[in-house]
Structure 1
């Protein structure tokens, strides 16, 4: 049952066109998939998408050698040891932690949601995260067509990227509200693109849209900005996707100015790290909606975790918190096992197979691998 090898797969998937948000554009999807293998040949998978090259180096040099021969069932102890050894590289810790959860659950023949304490629901309400901005013209020029596609696919909730110019932002939000009708759940993500008062100007022109939340209306650590906006905006304020530790959320909770906590499992120390955020959030009666980026592993980790989170009223038509973020853009790394299916009611079904419920292989990754590395006992 002990760990025999750690394999690192650095993946790059080119996109057919440049896309982005109000802050950054990109022409590829990139991530590090971490595979932990036990002596019986079973694999558990983790992911680090934020700084994949740096995380690969950290895992190879500092973390993987410490894992060899260890019992993957001892996730909590190993998480503490990895955190101490990682030198602040919590993305590397996150990938290891995800893979340990997947492997430990596979060894027991149970889903990760069961390993986390048990699913409270077998279908999770999902929101389409998109559309993306496209350079070379007005960034909202294709939003209506793409939103129509989301609605045909079954989504009942959509989170729009925004932050181009307040008047244009308001125009597209109000248009999408008309397309969704009064029963759809609509959120907005400024992606840190505005100073607080510019964000306020944009949202003030969207009152009729009935937004559930506004995400990153200022830069992540701007406690005073969040505090000011929380007294002036009607929608909930969401954030925290860049935070690497549960403690970073505490000042915002104490100030009462962050309503929806959005840690990313691949950034904030894995399932163990985000589990700490969930405990903190419950103490303040705030929902956790994990930020989801990267590939299929981070998506499945978020799906299993979200299945275990407590329900809370949201005021939205999709049935209340929690929600699963579903990257609706082009993403070959999300499609590795076939793109997850959205049910007719706008939910995604939680797999009941062992681990994360997907069967990744090295061959599936081969078209996108730019570097591979394996650490085994000498």
Structure 2
């Protein structure tokens, strides 16, 4: 039929035009993986190497591509040698893949071990890989990651350091809630409020270490100090505990650093037992999951105050996600965690306590691999939290 011949001829013409614009590698990539073909330089980029380097308590993930573009990510809060081995084992699922298909690769990694889906080792490791993939995507398209997430929702990001830890320990039991214990807490926190003034923020981190009855009594005594919120009010796992605390405490409550992926945040929001959620980019599955969690929380009018105890590599990843989130309070940041000379970043913190938006393509950080190699040679001894003991000899969380 003449119409059919003409239609075929038109297709041939279109195909010829496309092949003139694409190099041979692009065409092969498009045939092998049509979903990866987006008609620009990203169509032929492929992952060809993954390196996981333990250095102190952290693991630094480097993903390389056939285009010479590399991405960096950080694995946190795991035994480093185990985390590095797990990251290397996952390379088999990444080899030859287009690194810009970030959602696809996240799902591929997460679902690969369907019988043990989730959990800290898998999700923290995926988080480091996810950061590196976003870093590659930003470098490929020469733009900061937060622009790939929808652009900045703010001009700068408020940050805070954690201050001095304190605990009562003077009564008949470690958490006896006797008047002396409570007064020591109140005096310390009132001193911090006086120091920062009414415009500053005072956050009390219970760190899941206080039994609910004690926390309820303590929170009542803290009301006059105008604490902005109480962090980590209980160990995750029993939503009824959070509901009880929310019903009894007037101060805003927050948690989230020990929760992983969007699914673990759903009960808090559905039961309305938190005022602020605190996802950690390195704990909850990387930038991909952190953005989803923030969007879910936004639907419940709950802002985020990200937890973060990484080096400035992980901090940068978290800042990119935070920059693109509309409902936001404040971001945790410990500058002293980053080993000297390891990371060059292009964001700063001003005198008012605000971080500038990261600049440059990708995450906006550079890793000195010579410094990293030297750090990797140093022996690392984990500091297990359960070394603590109560007066009766039983194991303490802290």
TM-score band w.r.t. shorter chain: 0.7 to 0.9
**Structure 2 Cα separation of the partners of residues 173 and 335 of structure 1:** 35
Contact 2:295 2:325 in 1 (8 A): no
1:336 aligns with 2:342: yes
More strand by share: 1
**Structure 2 Cα separation of the partners of residues 193 and 130 of structure 1:** 17
**Structure 2 Cα separation of the partners of residues 266 and 128 of structure 1:** 18
Write out aligned runs for 1:221-240 (5 A). Answer: 221-240=237-256
Aligned match of 2:46: 2
State the 4+ residue runs in structure 1 displaced beyond 6 angstroms.
none
1:356 aligns with 2:363: yes
Write out aligned runs for 1:1-378 (5 A). Answer: 1-12=45-56, 30-51=57-78, 52-61=80-89, 63-86=90-113, 87=116, 88=118, 89-132=122-165, 165-311=181-327, 321-327=328-334, 330-333=336-339, 336-337=342-343, 341-370=348-377
Shift of 1:337: 2.5
**Structure 2 Cα separation of the partners of residues 11 and 287 of structure 1:** 33
Contact 2:341 2:368 in 1 (8 A): no
Shift of 1:304: 0.8
Aligned match of 1:20: none
**Structure 1 Cα separation of the partners of residues 377 and 159 of structure 2:** 32
**Structure 1 Cα separation of the partners of residues 252 and 130 of structure 2:** 31
Q: TM-score, normalised by structure 2?
A: 0.75
Aligned match of 1:157: none
Shift of 1:344: 2.1
**Structure 1 Cα separation of the partners of residues 228 and 136 of structure 2:** 36
Shift of 1:204: 1.6
Q: How large is the Cα RMSD of the aligned pairs?
A: 2.2
Contact 2:268 2:274 in 1 (8 A): yes
Gaps of 5+ in 1: 13-29, 139-163, 312-320, 372-378
Query: Which protein, 1 or 2, shows the higher relative CO under an 8 Å CA cutoff with sep ≥ 6?
Result: 1
Shift of 1:220: 2.2
Deviations 1:206-241 (A, max 9, x none): 112111110112212232221111122222110011
SS in 2 for 1:47: strand
Gaps of 5+ in 2: 1-44, 171-179, 379-398
Deviations 1:280-319 (A, max 9, x none): 11121111222101212210011111111114xxxxxxxx
**Structure 2 Cα separation of the partners of residues 264 and 215 of structure 1:** 13
Aligned length: 316
Q: TM-score, normalised by structure 1?
A: 0.78
**Structure 1 Cα separation of the partners of residues 342 and 251 of structure 2:** 36
More helix by share: 2
Contact 1:241 1:291 in 2 (8 A): yes
Shift of 1:165: 4.3
Deviations 1:115-168 (A, max 9, x none): 11111123111122223469xx99xxxxxxxxxxxxxxxxxxxxxxxxx94332
Deviations 1:322-378 (A, max 9, x none): 3111126x423487336863212220001220011111131131232149xxxxxxx
* Pair 347,226 (structure 1): closer, same or farther in 2 beyond 3 Å: same
SS in 1 for 2:134: helix
